[in-house]
Amino acid sequence: MATALETVRDYAGGGEYKYGFTTDVGEDRAAVGLDESTVRFISNKKDEPTWLTEWRLDALRRWQGMVEPDWQKPQYPTIDYQAISYFSAPKSPDDRPKSLDEIDPEIRKTYEKLGIPIKEQELLAGIAVDYVFDSVSVATTFKKKLNELGIIFCSVSEAVKDHPDLIKKYLGSVVPQGDNFFAALNAAVFSDGSFVYVPPGVRCPMELSTYFRINAAGTGQFERTLIVADKGAYVSYLEGCTAPMRDENQLHAAVVELIALDDAEIKYSTVQNWYPGDRNGKGGIYNFVTKRGACRGKNSKISWTQVETGSAITWKYPSCILQGDNSQGEFYSVAVTNNHQQADTGTKMVHIGKNTRSRIVAKTISAGRSDSTYRGLVKMLKSAEGARNYTQCDSMLIGDRCGAHTVPYIEVRNRSSQCEHEATTSKISDDQLFYCRSRGVPEEDAVALIVNGFCREVMEELPMEFAVEARKLLGVSLEGSVG
Amino acid sequence: MLKIENLKAGVEGKEILKGLNLQVKPGQVHAIMGPNGSGKSTLAYVLAGRDGYEVSGGSVTFDGHDVTEMSPEERAAAGIFLAMQYPVEIPGVANSYFLRQALNAIKKARGEPEVSAAAFMKLLREKAAVVGVREDLLKRDVNFGFSGGEKKRNEILQLAVLEPKLAILDETDSGLDIDALRTVAEGVNRLRSPERSFIVITHYQRLLDYIVPDVVHIQAHGQIQRSGGKELAGELEEKGYDAMIGAVAA
């Protein structure tokens, strides 16, 4: 009979990554290395207008003058940015498929292995799926229905051609080219991503969803997503990812910008399951992402919900700039690390407008030899009279070789604001495990059950279909416990 | 149904059960009484298969199978249930959800079809009525913020839903006032059947006024010292453990 301690050690062993496979698809990629010619190659390949090429080159020049940050907790070997290929696309990107039948069968198989067959996705309660495969969208569904409402949901590349005014107005308006090292890199070489625009007063009737996937060895992934909710509009957006098994580390530096005007609301949900590396810490994705939302209008609201189970390193802080009076920002997060994974994640809530409110609920689960940090900033400017924040950080440890850290930064510059911060740390107890098992629930399921209970407040924020997937994912991420 | 022969077991190398013998037939209710430190709870944990409780000798046969190498979940599937002295809280997990997961895990292990959410809720409401559990308790998180009485009643509800062949009640009476004790005992009595056996572990005779046993055992020093009918409990109450166990030793 395994002792409790052995059980705990088994978590350290972790499970094999279930989605580790690669797809054999011909690709079209940029030469290795990054300079002006690389940026021009990408821009040319995508047939972009001159202003965008210049915008990218401006970003490149800023990036070249920047130093990679080193204040984060996760440690990783130096990245050679000249050894990375900065663009890859499926064969014949000019010849885009007209229907799902025209999609490369290999790609379709990949999605089926992930348990998201396209047919089913279409049928799923009104989800429009914009598949991103190796950086270029290959299928967009439900477009017609959205068109009727004036909602634009397409790839950024398409939007550059079809809606240049919107792109010019909003691209880089929340995360400027020179914002930080990785955002600048992204601005210079971003491949593609999703663009959403919801016109005034329109409530998007379905969840918009994109599945991201890294597929080519040695290829960085540089997605760029831009979502604009005009006055009184509402949209809920889902982002989910899995990645195939690879030995070398892959860099993922995405940028997501959200803009909510007066009385608008954006709900952005992520389930992140990039390849975390094997149980010895070999391989895995470096996920260095800049996500930021601007509540520009009065009474606007932006809500981030994330379930982070993948990547060797997760380094991201989905943030809200609460500019409009009475605007609201929310951040709900579950971060699971196992084996040798490292996560440094949290949020920034910057209160500028009057009576702005923010709510942060962060749940961290560490197992194996992993290390997880919650890092969050709550900043209340002088103008943010009557602002309020509530922050709750809960950490759960599985085993005795993992780490959990909570690093809150609170800056308040006026007397009428209120900040609350609560933090707890707990362990899955032997008592809880035995209790579940004595009722017939096998050990792995018991762990998943207890962890899901711990995360319930966050899981409840996810859209229904996504929540089911995410619950399964939490179980899968902590599998491999019964020896 | 249950046959324990010369069972030796302990924790961290310390032997607590020193050659214990016990035989329980289908439909029987056995009470095990004994002073603190006599190994009553150890026996309960060993029967349920808790990690860290090592069997060093003897055998435990349940329905003709040796269970000593089985995991707790395998024993649950085989029909062994332990109502715990200190039921554990599981925050964020609804009581009804937990019970359905448990029932379906057991059904799955037995190769039986699982129960749908709707069918389960119907079943759960029926069982809750049988053991006197209020409906709001079903929606709350498992044992989280429950009173002592609610926790114990919840254990009996689990017993009712999972329908084990052998239920072990480990000091179910501890921490209960007389009204709560009566409710719990009534619940247990309604679950008695010719196929289901009970081992009722208790300190005091009081519980046995409500759950009337077929056999009473007195356990001390890791062994059953004396066995008899329900009158043995009364005798024990009157004379005290020292006299009874001392009498055995002499």
A338-375 pLDDT, tens digit each: 888 888 999 999 999 999 999 999 999 988 888 899 99
- Spatial distance between the Cα atoms of A124 and A228, rounded to a whole number of angstroms: 25
Assign B236 a pLDDT band (cuts: 50, 70, 90). Answer: confident
Positive or negative: CA dihedral B210, B216, B221, B222:
negative
Determine, for residues A440 and B162 on separate chains, whether the beta-carbon distance falls below 8 Å.
yes
Three-state SS at A56 = helix
Domains and CATH numbers, chain B: 2-249 (3.40.50.300)
Residue from the list B75, B76, B88 with its beta carbon closest to the beta carbon of A431: B88
Determine, for residues B51 and A7 on separate chains, whether the beta-carbon distance falls below 8 Å.
yes
Determine, for residues B102 and A2 on separate chains, whether the beta-carbon distance falls below 8 Å.
no
- Considering only A78-92, A134-148, A439-453, which range has the smallest mean pLDDT? A134-148
Mean of per-residue pLDDT scores for chain A: 80
Q: Show residues of chain A in contact with B166, CB under 8 Å.
A: none
Q: Does B164 touch chain A (CB under 8 A)?
A: no
- The pLDDT score that the predictor gives to residue B176 is 86
Give the burial class of B111: count Cβ atoms within 10 A of its Cβ; 0-12 exposed, 13-18 middle, 19 or more buried. Answer: exposed
Q: Per DSSP, which regions of A215-310 are E strands?
A: 224-229, 234-242, 250-252, 255-260, 265-273, 285-295, 301-308
- For residue A245, pLDDT over 50 is answered with no
Residue from the list A441, A450, A453 with its beta carbon closest to the beta carbon of B73: A441
Three-state SS at A365 = strand
* Shortest alpha-carbon distance between residue A436 and chain B (Å): 8
What pTM was estimated for this model as a whole? 0.80
Assign A191 a pLDDT band (cuts: 50, 70, 90). Answer: confident
- Of A153, A134, A160, A152, nearest in space to A47 by CA: A160
- What residues have CB less than 8 Å from A266, skipping those under 6 apart? A227, A229, A234, A235, A236, A237, A258, A260, A293, A301, A302, A303
pLDDT in tens, A414-442: 999 999 999 999 888 889 999 999 999 99
Positive or negative: CA dihedral A436, A426, B143, A431:
positive
Report helix, strand and coil shares of chain A as percent, to nearest 5.
25, 35, 40
Chain A, 409 to 468: residues with Cβ < 8 Å from chain B are 429-432, 434-443, 445, 449-450, 452-457
Assign A249 a pLDDT band (cuts: 50, 70, 90). Answer: low
Q: Show residues of chain B in contact with A450, CB under 8 Å.
A: 90, 93
| Interface residue of B97, B101, B140 to substitute, partner A, most A CBs within 10 Å | B101
Mean pLDDT of B148-154: 91
The total number of residues shown for chain B amounts to: 250
pLDDT in tens, B76-124: 999 999 999 999 999 999 999 999 999 999 999 999 999 999 999 999 9
Task: Answer with the residue of higher pLDDT: A283 or B32.
Answer: B32
Residue in chain A closest to B159 (alpha carbons) equals A439
The total number of residues shown for chain A amounts to: 483
Q: Round the CA-based radius of gyration of chain B to a whole number and report it.
A: 18
Task: Answer with the residue of higher pLDDT: A479 or A172.
Answer: A172
- Spatial distance between the Cα atoms of B182 and B178, rounded to a whole number of angstroms: 6
pLDDT in tens, A62-77: 999 999 888 888 888 8
| Interface residue of B68, B75, B88 to substitute, partner A, most A CBs within 10 Å | B88
- The pLDDT score that the predictor gives to residue A281 is 75
- Spatial distance between the Cα atoms of A71 and B247, rounded to a whole number of angstroms: 74
- Spatial distance between the Cα atoms of A290 and A47, rounded to a whole number of angstroms: 26
Three-state SS at B117 = helix
Assign A158 a pLDDT band (cuts: 50, 70, 90). Answer: confident
CB A289 within 8 A of CB A298: no
> What is the enclosing helix (H) or strand (E) of A316?
strand A313-316
- The pLDDT score that the predictor gives to residue A12 is 32
Mean pLDDT of B145-150: 90
- Considering only A201-210, A216-225, A405-414, B50-59, which range has the smallest mean pLDDT? A216-225
- For residue A481, pLDDT over 80 is answered with no
